[in-house]
Amino acid sequence: MDFPDEEALAIVDDPSRTESGSDKDTAMLEKLAAQMLVDRDHMLGFPVNLDFDYRMFADFLTVHANNVGSPVDDSEYYLHTKPFERAVVKFLGRLAGREDAFGYITNGGTEGNIFGCFIGRERFPDAVLYYSDMAHYSAPKIARLLRMESCSVATVTGEGMDLDCLRDRHRQLGDKRAAIVVATVGSTTDGSYDDIPGIRSALADVASNTHIHSDSAFGGLLAALGYETRPWAFESGADTVTISGHKMIGGPIPTGIVLAHPEHVDIIRNADVAVGADDDTISGSRDAVSPLMLWYELRRLGRVGLRRRVLHCLDTAAYAVERLAAEDLHPVRVGGTNTVIFDAPSEDICARWNLLIVGDKAHLITMPHVTGEHIDRLCADLRS
C-alpha cells in the first residue's frame, strides 16, 4: 500500500480547500480507495472477509448515531440502533447455546476479551489469568490492564492448550485459588482450538472456581457451522464468548460481538449513568452503524446462508492444500480449519498476495472472498 508522505498529510492552520482551488484531498482519498479495491483481490493471508457491499448505508454517514450505554436500555439519546443490535445478539446467542445471553457489539475481538476477563475478575477477584502461548496478543495486555497475576501455558501442536501443563501450573500455586482461562477457539497462528470442556475438567479439583472466556473471534462460527461441530461456547462450558464481526460476517469497520450469562453481568453494571441508560459495557459510547451492517448481512444470509459461507471457506482450504501440494510446498491444514500453512515462496509473491509469514512458513486463510480461482492464480504465480 502506497500512502502519501507525511508532509502531504499534515493538518495545518489554513484550510486545505478554497473556493477557487481544486479539492486535492478528495482526489487523494479517491486514489487510496481505488488502490484498496485493487489490493482487496489479493488478500489471502489474513482472517478478514472482504465479500460485502454496504454502499446503501451512505445516508447513515450524515448522522451521529450512538448506542451509548447498555444494549438492553434505550438511552435518552434517541439517534441509536439498539433494537438492531439486540437482534444480532439474540441470533448469535442462540448459535452459541443461550438465546437469552447478554451481549453487545464491540469494536473488535480485543474489547470482547477485555469484557470477558473483566467479568471473570469481578466474579473471582483472587483469580489467576491463564492463556496459551498461541493465544491472541491481547491476553497478556489484558493481564496488565486488569493488574492480574497471569501465566502463559504451553500448547500441543494441533491440539491447543496443554491441559496437564495448565493443571500443574495452577496446582503449584499451593492455595486453592480461582482461575480465569482465555480459551482460544481458532488460533490466528494455525487455526487450532483449545479444549473448553477439557479445561474445566482439568481445573475441577485444583481451582476454587473457574471462569472460561472463549475467544472465538476467528473460529467460533467455523466451530458452530462447519462439517464437524466443535466445543466452543456456553453449552461446552464457556462463561463468556467473543465472536468477530469483520472476519466471517464481514464489514468495513472492525467489530465484534461479546456474549455472557446475563446473571454474571449484574456485577459490573452501573445504573442510570449513560444518558438515561445503565452501563454494562467497556466502551460507553458505541458505534451504531456496525450493528445495522451486521443485522443486514445476517438477515440476508440467515443461518443457512452463514453455514454455506463457512463450508465454502473449508472447501476452498481443502482445494488449496491439494493445489499447493502439487507445487511441492508441503501444505498443512490444522484440524480441518480454513488455515493452510506451507513453505514460504519468494518475498515478491508473499507481498503480492498479502500472505502472512512466520519463520519460513506462509499462512493462507481461505475467508469468504477467497475462491478456487484465487488459489489457481496464486499457483500460477508460484510457477512463473
HEC-encoded secondary structure of 64-91:
CCECCCCCCCCCCCCCCCHHHHHHHHHH
The whole-number pLDDT of residue 138 equals 98
Min mean pLDDT across 43-47, 227-231, 258-262, 269-273 is at 269-273
**CB-hemisphere CA count at 13 Å for 48?**
17
Terminal CA-to-CA distance of the chain, rounded, Å? 23
The whole-number pLDDT of residue 20 equals 53
Mean pLDDT in residue range 310-319: 98
Strand 339-343 relative to strand 332-333, pairing:
antiparallel
75-125 tens-digit pLDDT = 899 999 999 999 999 999 999 999 999 999 999 999 999 999 999 999 999
The whole-number pLDDT of residue 221 equals 98
Mean pLDDT in residue range 295-320: 98
The whole-number pLDDT of residue 55 equals 97
For residue 151 the three cell numbers come to 501465566
pTM recorded for the entire structure = 0.96
- Residue 18 above 70 pLDDT? no
Mean pLDDT in residue range 194-215: 98
Q: For the chain, which domains are there?
A: 60-298 (3.40.640.10)
For 354, other C-beta atoms within 10 Å of its C-beta total 14
Which pLDDT band, with edges at 50, 70 and 90, does 21 fall under?
low
Q: What span, in angstroms and rounded, lies between the C-alpha atoms of 33 and 39?
A: 10
The whole-number pLDDT of residue 147 equals 98
Q: Phi first, then psi: give them for residue 74, nearest 5 degrees.
A: -80, 125
Phi-psi sector, 191: left (phi>0), alpha (psi -120 to 50), beta: left
Mean pLDDT in residue range 289-298: 99
Find the DSSP H helices in the chain: 6-9, 24-40, 82-95, 109-123, 138-145, 163-171, 196-203, 220-225, 262-265, 290-326, 347-352, 372-383
For residue 86 the three cell numbers come to 439486540
Q: What span, in angstroms and rounded, lies between the C-alpha atoms of 276 and 267?
A: 19
Question: 384: which residues sit within 8 A by CB, 6+ positions away?
Answer: none
